[in-house]
């Protein structure tokens, strides 16, 4: 990814950790009834120890561990010289059934569906690069990702990022946004004691959505995850402005004014407060 212009701060979460022993069984080890799991348990018992009993001394509990003496568990050579017990109870040298290699491990291991996962991320400067085009270039036929899949047969690549988060947020909004609108309608219906006036107030919400989309288009910004959150908050601002206007119109009508005249006067009187309220809220 570093070869693409506008891509910076490339990183992954596979941070190097402590040195670890990598053990592999040799051919013929399974014929002796030795499996990697049982071999690992024997290594643990020999070098870490197996708890045989606990002794209580006053308030302290002392664990008695059975393991090799200290001089037999100091180096990698001690591992290769240990005796491994087979399924029949016989003992064979460790070097005959397995081989060990020291490698540096990772600080953390992430798993999804029992598979190891490494997250690779980078920052993309939208002024000079496009994240979608970069991903398409990497994932094209005979591209970089195909080379990785050919080198590591079981490798799976899952492309994610800001676009994926936006799709997830959109799916959540499809569920929760109508519920929020229903809640707003219920509160307004209880406040005005009417089923029609809440609808009149909420009719302004679609105009706010259209304005937000057009505003993004005018300034040349893409609709991002933060934009979606802002659009949701915009619905509350629009409802508040409509509420300020409709409240005055209702009072004018109750005072004996005509509907059209009350709407005209309400819009003229409330224009300045609505603008100031919206600007201070934004």
43 has a pLDDT exceeding 70: yes
162 has a pLDDT exceeding 70: no
Q: Is position 148 within any domain?
A: no
119 has a pLDDT exceeding 70: yes
- Identify the three-state secondary structure at position 26: coil
Question: What is the mean pLDDT of the segment spanning 61-79?
Answer: 85
Across the chain, mean pLDDT equals 83
Question: What is the mean pLDDT of the segment spanning 179-185?
Answer: 88
Neighbour-count burial of 79, counting CB atoms closer than 10 A to its CB (0-12 exposed, 13-18 middle, 19+ buried) = middle
CATH number of the domain within which 259 lies: 1.20.1640.10
Q: Does 209 lie in the same domain as 115? A: no
Q: Which tokens is 114 given? A: 């029992």
Q: Does 112 lie in the same domain as 166? A: no
pLDDT score for 38: 87
Q: Does 262 lie in the same domain as 202? A: yes
Among candidate residues 175, 237, 174, the one with its CA nearest the CA of residue 209:
237
Residue 262, CA distances (Å) to 191, 243, 250, 267, 269 in order: 20, 15, 8, 8, 10
163 has a pLDDT exceeding 70: no
CA–CA gap between residue 31 and residue 28 (Å, rounded):
5
212 has a pLDDT exceeding 70: yes
252 has a pLDDT exceeding 80: yes
Q: Does 121 lie in the same domain as 201? A: no
Q: Does 254 lie in the same domain as 168? A: yes
Question: What is the mean pLDDT of the segment spanning 39-48?
Answer: 88
Among candidate residues 75, 98, 77, the one with its CA nearest the CA of residue 86:
98
- Identify the three-state secondary structure at position 22: strand
CA–CA gap between residue 54 and residue 267 (Å, rounded):
84
Specify the long-range contacts of residues 203-212, CB closer than 8 Å, at least 24 apart: 203/242, 204/238, 204/239, 204/241, 204/242, 205/181, 205/235, 205/238, 205/239, 207/238, 208/234, 208/235, 208/237, 208/238, 209/234, 209/235
Question: What is the mean pLDDT of the segment spanning 167-191?
Answer: 85
pLDDT-based confidence at 161, cuts 50/70/90? low
**Highest mean predicted confidence (pLDDT) among 131-145, 163-177, 228-242:** 228-242
CA–CA gap between residue 84 and residue 92 (Å, rounded):
5
Of how many residues is the chain composed? 282
Q: What is the dihedral of CA 143, 148, 154, 156, to 10 degrees?
A: -60
Q: Is position 216 within any domain?
A: yes
Contact 51, 63 (CB under 8 A): yes
Percent of the chain with pLDDT over 90: 1
CA–CA gap between residue 95 and residue 26 (Å, rounded):
9
* Domain count across the chain: 2
CA–CA gap between residue 66 and residue 234 (Å, rounded):
68
Q: Does 222 lie in the same domain as 122? A: no
CATH number of the domain within which 49 lies: 3.30.2090.10
Q: Is position 57 within any domain?
A: yes
248 has a pLDDT exceeding 80: yes
The per-residue pLDDT for range 80-112, each reduced to its tens digit, is: 888 888 888 888 888 888 888 888 888 777 887
Percent of the chain with pLDDT over 70: 98
Q: Is position 119 within any domain?
A: yes
Q: Does 17 lie in the same domain as 115? A: yes
Q: Is position 155 within any domain?
A: no
Element (H, E) at 50: strand 50-57
Q: Does 268 lie in the same domain as 177? A: yes
Q: Does 120 lie in the same domain as 11? A: yes
The range of the structural domain enclosing residue 197 comes to: 162-281
Q: Does 113 lie in the same domain as 169? A: no
Q: Is position 237 within any domain?
A: yes
Among candidate residues 84, 98, 101, the one with its CA nearest the CA of residue 43:
84
pLDDT score for 186: 92
Q: Does 264 lie in the same domain as 202? A: yes
**Domain-ending residue, one of 109, 128, 147:** 128
Q: Is position 94 within any domain?
A: yes
**Domain-ending residue, one of 106, 128, 150:** 128
Q: How many whole angstroms from its chain centre is CA 280?
A: 34
pLDDT-based confidence at 193, cuts 50/70/90? confident
Q: Does 168 lie in the same domain as 116? A: no
Q: Is position 23 within any domain?
A: yes
**Domain-ending residue, one of 103, 128, 153:** 128
Per the confidence metrics, is the pTM higher than 0.75?
Answer: no
């Amino acid at each position: 990814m570093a070869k693409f212009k506008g891509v910076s701060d490339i990183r992954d979460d596979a941070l190097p950790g402590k040195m670890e022993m990598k053990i592999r069984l040799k051919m013929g080890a399974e014929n002796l009834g030795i499996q990697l799991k049982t071999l690992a348990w024997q290594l643990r018992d020999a070098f870490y120890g197996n708890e045989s009993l606990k002794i209580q001394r006053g308030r302290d509990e002392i664990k008695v561990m059975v393991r090799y003496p200290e001089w037999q568990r100091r180096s990698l050579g001690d591992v290769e010289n240990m005796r491994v017990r087979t399924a029949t109870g016989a003992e064979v040298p460790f070097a005959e059934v397995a081989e060990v290699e020291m490698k540096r491990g990772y600080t953390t291991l992430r798993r999804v569906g029992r598979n190891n996962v490494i997250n690779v991320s980078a920052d993309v400067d939208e002024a000079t690069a496009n994240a979608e085009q970069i991903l398409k270039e990497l994932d094209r036929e005979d591209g970089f990702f195909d080379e990785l899949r050919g080198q590591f047969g079981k490798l799976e690549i899952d492309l994610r990022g800001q676009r994926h988060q936006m799709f997830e947020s959109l799916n959540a909004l499809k569920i929760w946004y109508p519920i929020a609108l229903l809640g707003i309608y219920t509160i307004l219906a209880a406040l005005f004691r009417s089923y029609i006036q809440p609808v009149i107030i909420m009719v302004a919400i679609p105009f706010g959505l259209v304005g937000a989309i057009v505003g993004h288009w005018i300034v040349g910004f893409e609709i991002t995850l933060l934009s979606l959150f802002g659009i949701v908050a915009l619905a509350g601002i629009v409802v508040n402005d409509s509420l300020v206007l409709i409240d005055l119109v209702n009072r004018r009508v109750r005072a004996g004014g005509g509907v059209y005249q009350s709407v005209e006067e309400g819009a003229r009187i409330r224009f300045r407060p609505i603008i100031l309220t919206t600007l201070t809220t934004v």
